[in-house]
Amino acid sequence: MTTTQANDEAVKELIAALGKENVLTEMRHRVVRSASCSPFPVQQWKKHLPDIVVFPDSTDDVVGIVKIANKYKIPIVPRGGGSGLADGAVPLKHGIVIDIKRMNRILEIDEENMCVTVQTGINLLMLNKVLGELGYWHPDDPAGYVNACVGGRIGCSGFSLVGSGYGHTRDLVISFEHVLPTGEVIHVGEGGGKKIRKSSTGYRLKDLFMGHQGTLGVATEAVLEIFPRPEAEFPAFFAFNSFEDAYQTAYNLGKSGLKTLSAMVMFIICSINKS
């Protein structure tokens, strides 16, 4: 069976499983999922154009997609907001892009255990809009905050701008449901139940599946840490004459013991003075 024939047969089965509206093969849908926000050679988009784009609605949908892809030996790439800088969402070998953004429901807000259970297609901005109304927030703050999805954050084990105060993605995800490349579903965490932060027994499989960049499957549901929302947020920016001065100030602030200081990030901007 040729690649074209395999794709055609896969499309038929995907439509039967997901509905026609959730299986896209038009060029416009494929093109916008051929690159990411990274410094990718955009002029070479045709080399990495997906053949099929699918929108799952649940873990069961993802299982079905993975099994169909395996049946026809078609590569798959999970895609969240596409805001990552490591090209993990780029379909380097064409195939099927699993766009998770319609899996965007909040399944439970547990105020007693201070956690929220979500589908991984929800973006951080929308999640915190809901949590904020209850006086909470999930403090994962990437540069692509407005469109970064929870699943993408798990896939890249992202860096948070307020990580020095609350931790980064690896610290803020308690556990998650994960579809393996075989189509099997596992739940990974800290060795205990879904909402248990620490356990003295059991394997810490969560750490293995953080930062997998899509190579180990698709995260579909996650339990996340939540915290009381800060009473005030005050981003401050300071300019220095040299890198050494900036570094020394950041170092001194870090040692100062300021409990209200969430993060310090150094941005290096080069300025050429033409006189």
- For residues 85-99, one letter each, b for 16 or more C-beta atoms within 10 angstroms of the residue's C-beta and e for the rest, the string is beebbbbeebbbbbb
pTM, to two decimals: 0.86
The amino acid occupying position 128 is N
- Residue 74 sits in the same domain as residue 153: no
Judged on CB neighbours under 10 Å (0-12, 13-18, 19+), 268 is exposed
Look up residue 95 and give its DSSP letter.
S
Picking from 149, 163, 127, the residue whose alpha carbon sits closest to that of residue 219 is 149
| Structural domain includes residue 129 | yes
- Based on the fold, state whether residues 80 and 114 are members of the same structural domain: no
- Asked whether residue 118 carries a pLDDT value surpassing 90, the answer given is yes
* Each residue's pLDDT tens digit, 35-52: 777 666 666 778 889 999
Instruction: Answer with the residue of higher pLDDT: 224 or 263.
Output: 224
Same domain? For 145 and 94 the reply is no
Q: Tell me the two tokens of residue 51.
A: 């053949």
Q: What is the mean pLDDT of residues 1-14?
A: 89
Q: What's the whole-number mean pLDDT along residues 221-239?
A: 87
Q: Are residues 126 and 212 located together in one domain of the fold?
A: yes
The CA R_g of the chain, rounded to the nearest whole Å, is 21
User: Which range marks the domain in which residue 58 is found?
Assistant: 3-99
Q: What is the chain's mean pLDDT, rounded?
A: 87
70 three-state secondary structure: helix
The number of folded domains in the chain is: 2
Q: Which residue has the tokens 């699993």?
A: 98
Are 76 and 142 members of one domain? Answer: no
**Predicted local confidence at residue 266, as pLDDT:** 62
Q: What is the pLDDT of residue 149?
A: 94
For residue 29, tell me if it sits in a domain. yes
Q: Are 85 and 148 contained in the same domain?
A: no
Structural domain ending residue among the three candidates 53, 82, 99:
99
Q: Note the pLDDT tens digit of each residue in 62-113.
A: 999 999 999 999 999 999 888 877 777 888 899 999 999 999 999 999 999 9
Backbone dihedral angles phi then psi of residue 57, each to the nearest 5 degrees: -115, -10
User: pLDDT tens across 145-190, in order?
Assistant: 888 999 999 999 988 888 777 889 999 999 999 999 999 999 999 8
Is 272 contained in some domain? Answer: no
Of 102, 38, 62, 5, whose CA–CA distance to 218 is shortest?
Answer: 62
pLDDT at 107: 97
The CATH code of the domain that includes 156 is: 3.30.465.10
